[in-house]
Structure 1
Amino acid sequence: MMLDKIIKSTFLLLFVGILSFKASAQSGTKISERVHFGGSLGLSIGSGFTNIVVAPSMIYDVNQYFSAGAGLQGSYVKWQNNFESFIYGASIIGLVNPIEQLQLSAELEQLRVNTTYPDNFWNTALFLGVGYRTDNVTVGVRYNVLFKARNNVYNEAFMPFVRVYF
């Protein structure tokens, strides 16, 4: 199952992070300088439509060019009397900064969609993205290479994003 692969990959990233932490501790770099927390909160309400999203995430700076991390996501969507869904899952992300202002990203996301219309399903997305980075904020666009119009959480393969890590 894809969720098992994500969990195993997350543990692998954490293991690599711990090894990198050990190496950086020997060089005098503090872990708090390498770990960043972020994510998103969303609320959309109007005309019989409600969408609530909570998606925390964490990344670890392996070096000045590469960061890796993991995230969780949970959301609730209701549209009048048409349907209601609960969506939850996890993701792993890799960020590459070849130059300070440019950020390339790859994110594997696995979501469980429990809905009243038409049925429950798993949704896997692999986003490849590019963004403009300034300090701890990145604005860009990402593309879901696994996008399918049927049984998909997202309406389009292309999605804009704003990524903030503290």
Structure 2
Amino acid sequence: MFSQNDDKPKFWDNVQFGGGLGLNFSNNYTTLSISPSAIYNFNQYVAAGPGLSYLYSKYRDVKSNVYGAGLITLINPIPNLQFSVEYEHLFVTQKIAFDKTNFDYPSLYLGGAYRMGNFSAGLRFDVLYDSDKTIYSSAVSPIFRFYF
């Protein structure tokens, strides 16, 4: 008969759910985003998992709806420092005045954040950034993540 070892962690014991939220308001510019994700903690230093994203952006007469999916890897070399590598592929529906276009583009973010428990805040940089093929005004964006 097989013995059952209750001390061995089960798969779901190492899974955390969370993601990020984004809000940006300024003169004639609004951005709202949500990016839920799940990560699997391989150990106390490395976690990885899939994510989804949605972003709404409005700048003057330009409105964008962006949907995407991606993969994230989090590296925690010390308790309060978190590095991240994120690949995202985004699909955009953009309306400029009366003209509507659809396009897609990939993003590869390298980031660094201050980590405090389940919360991280920092910056990330899109190494594939191309100002002609994106809705973002910069390759740099903030990081705000929560995992529970």
Q: TM-score range by the shorter chain?
A: 0.7 to 0.9
Pair 1:75-2:55 in alignment? yes
Name structure 1 gaps, 5 residues minimum: 1-24
Equivalent residue, structure 2, for 1:132? 114
Q: How far is 1:48 from its partner?
A: 6.2
Higher normalized strand content (fraction of residues) = 2
Please tell me the residue identity of whatever aligns with 1:57.
Answer: S
What is the CA–CA distance in structure 2 between the aligned matches of 1:162 and 1:50, rounded to whole Å?
Answer: 18
Please tell me the residue identity of whatever aligns with 1:99.
Answer: I
What is the TM-score of this pair, normalised by structure 1? Answer: 0.73
What is the CA–CA distance in structure 2 between the aligned matches of 1:146 and 1:26, rounded to whole Å?
Answer: 45
Q: How far is 1:53 from its partner?
A: 2.5
Structure 1 residues 125 and 34: CA distance shift in structure 2, 3 A: same
Q: Does structure 2 retain, via aligned residues, the 8 Å contact 1:73–1:88?
A: yes
Query: Please, which moves more after superposition, 28-37 or 45-54?
Result: 45-54
Pair 1:107-2:86 in alignment? yes
Please tell me the residue identity of whatever aligns with 2:131.
Answer: A
Aligned residues between the structures: 141
Q: Which has the larger radius of gyration?
A: 2
Equivalent residue, structure 2, for 1:18? none
Q: Does structure 2 retain, via aligned residues, the 8 Å contact 1:123–1:153?
A: no
- The Cα RMSD (Å) is 2.4
What is the CA–CA distance in structure 1 between the aligned matches of 2:23 and 2:125, rounded to whole Å?
Answer: 23
Structure 1 residues 34 and 48: CA distance shift in structure 2, 3 A: same
1:86-97 correspondence to structure 2 within 5 Å? 86-97=65-76
Please tell me the residue identity of whatever aligns with 2:74.
Answer: L
Name structure 2 gaps, 5 residues minimum: none
Higher normalized helix content (fraction of residues) = 1
What is the TM-score of this pair, normalised by structure 2? Answer: 0.81
Please tell me the residue identity of whatever aligns with 2:83.
Answer: L
Equivalent residue, structure 2, for 1:34? 14
Query: Quick one: which of 60, 70, 75 aligns to 2:40?
Result: 60
